């Protein structure tokens, strides 16, 4: 059973992160820009490492 689904929406320069947990969606209110690539990669890595198959 899948408990959480992570998502990202990107225009190429602007990034937004979301998470669906059961019936609740969480939207990161921050906008991330490509010049903040360290933050973007950090968020992606943290979400991937939270998955049990990794």
Contacts 24+ apart (CB under 8 A), 11-19: 15/40, 17/43, 17/47, 19/47
Query: CB-based burial of residue 15 (10 Å sphere; 0-12 exposed, 13-18 middle, 19+ buried)?
Result: buried
Q: How many helices and strands (H and E) does the chain possess?
A: 1, 4
pTM assigned to the model: 0.75
What is the number of residues in the chain? 54
Q: How confident is the model at residue 4 (pLDDT cuts 50, 70, 90)?
A: confident
* pLDDT averaged over every residue in the chain: 88
Residue 52 has pLDDT above 80, yes or no: no
More confident residue, 54 or 14: 14
pLDDT value at residue 48: 78
What's the CA gap between 51 and 24, in Å, rounded?
18
């Amino acid at each position: 059973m899948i408990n959480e689904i992570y998502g990202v929406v990107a225009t190429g320069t602007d990034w937004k992160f979301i998470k669906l947990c059961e019936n609740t969606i969480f939207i990161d209110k921050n906008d991330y820009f490509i010049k903040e690539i360290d933050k973007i990669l950090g968020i992606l890595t943290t979400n991937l490492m939270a998955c049990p198959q990794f």
